[in-house]
Structure 1
């Protein structure tokens, strides 16, 4: 098990937050799933797909002394904190760097923190122990620093944590059954991620009428402009569609398969739950047109 690629336990998607005395609730950190393997002075970091990324994070050298157990396998989320919240793009940036000089510079500009939420192994395997027992072990063996820390959690009631996650623009919360065992490589209903819906102002790049009405929306990024980020099919009223189509006919550029592309002059606000690694927004809902908004100001909020 030690220093071998492991498939972590997978969180299922929950529909909405709930209160239950049989569960604990943790913040949902937005980064990469990382398994840390330590023995003596050796430490290796594995991604959820089994890739070794230790060399990409020089700050892991500090983590060795912060894990008090001689031997340990910890389940963590690797994150970069900016303005009090984890920023997925920042940690992905760290993971893409291959030049050693740039890696050292990134430790200063994009410092990584490894937020530990479970322990799989120390002097023996802990997979079959109840979650709260593993939490106690985790807190005993980690000396919290800026580079590694056990995640906070509350028991029973999620209300305060859910409100905090929304106020701090966090991704959401994770509900975990207190007596849950750790089953490698398995998606489980004992762990549920409940993501916060967010809103963002986007430019309209095109539209579809078949098989149903939908908008193709886009955003500007630091290195890419006018990037399509989602298809919005829900939330439209009859008047919304009629008003949009009247304008769209006048600024249509071309038709490509089922999509009518238009000049990027119009904006709209959408609600979404999460996004893919390639910035495609998921579970999108139309919230309204923004006729006074300049499409040049529709940037991804880093």
Structure 2
């Protein structure tokens, strides 16, 4: 088990925050799932897909002394904090770079923190122990520093934590049954991620009428402009649809694969809940047209 690739327990999707004394609630950190394996002075970092990424994070050397157990496997989220919140793109950058000079510079520009939320092993397996037993082990095992820290959690009050995460522009919360066992590689309803909706202004790049009306929306990025990032169907009223199509007929460029592409002159505001590594936005809701918005100002907020 130690220093071998493991598939972590996978969080299922929940719909909305709730209160329940049978659960603990944690902030949902926006980074990479990392399993830390330690024995003595050796510490290795594995991604959820089993890749060893220890060399990309030299700060882990300083974290060794903060883990009191001689031997352990810890389940973490690797994050980079900016303005008090974790930023996925920053940690993803750390995970991509391999040049030693860039890694050294990133220690200053994109410092990483490993937020620990579970313990799987300390010389013997703890997978079948209830979550709260593992939490108590973790409390005694990890000393909080800038490089590594146990996650905070509250018992029973999911709605309060959800409100707090919204106020701090975080990704959401995770609800976990107090008696849940740790099952490797399995999606389980014992752990539920409840994500916050986020709002962003986008450029309308095109639209489809079949099988259902929807808008193709895009954003500007540092290295590319007018990149399609999602398709929005929900929330568009018949009046919105009619008004848009009247304007879109004058802006249409071409039709391709059931999509009418238009000149990028119109903007709209959307909400989204999910985002892929390639910045594709899922669970999207149309909130309204922005006729006075300059499309040049619709960019991804890193």
TM-score range, shorter-chain basis? over 0.9
3-state SS of 1:21 partner: strand
Instruction: Report whether the alignment pairs 1:203 with 2:203.
Output: yes
* Shift, 1:159, TM fit: 2.3
CA distance in 2, matches of 1:295, 1:133: 53
* 1:101-180 equivalences in 2 (<5 Å): 101-180=101-180
Supply the distance in 2 between the matched residues of 1:178 and 1:211 (Cα, whole angstroms). 44
**1:145 Cα shift?**
0.2
Q: Distance in 1 between matches of 2:169 and 2:274?
A: 12
Hey, what's the Cα distance between the residues in 2 that align with 1:7 and 1:192? 17
* Structure 2 unaligned spans of 5+: none
Secondary structure of 1:249's aligned partner = helix
Q: Which runs of 5+ in 1 are unaligned?
A: none
TM-score normalised per structure 1: 0.99
Q: CA deviation at 1:123?
A: 2.5
What's the counterpart of residue 17 of structure 2?
Answer: 17
- Aligned residue in 2 for 1:240: 240
- So what's the TM-score if we normalise by structure 2? 0.99
1:261 aligns with 261
| Backbone CA RMSD of aligned residues | 0.6
Cα distance in 2 for residues equivalent to 1:216 and 1:275 = 15
Provide the C-alpha distance between the structure 2 equivalents of 1:261 and 1:268, rounded to a whole number of angstroms: 16
The aligned counterpart of 1:99 is 99
Q: Which runs of 4+ in 1 moved over 6 A?
A: none
The aligned counterpart of 2:2 is 2
Deviations 1:222-245 (A, max 9, x none): 111100000001111111011100
Cα deviation, residue 62, structure 1 = 0.6
1:89 — aligned with what? Answer: 89
Q: Residue by residue, what CA displacement relative to the aligned partner does 1:108-137 show, whole Å, maximum 9, x if unpaired?
A: 000000000000011321111110110011
Summarize the alignment of residues 54-93 of structure 1 with structure 2, pairs less than 5 Å apart.
Answer: 54-93=54-93
Aligned mates of 2:136, 2:20 — CA distance in 1: 20
- Indicate the residue corresponding to 1:231 in structure 2: 231
Partner SS for 2:152: coil
Name the SS for the 1:293 alignment partner.
coil
Query: Quick check: 1:222 aligned with 2:222?
Result: yes
SS in 1 for 2:224: coil
Corresponding residue of 2:193: 193
Summarize deviations over 1:39-63 as a string: whole Å, max 9, x none: 0000000000000000000101011
Q: 1:274 deviation in Å?
A: 1.5
Deviation at 1:271, TM superposition (A): 1.1
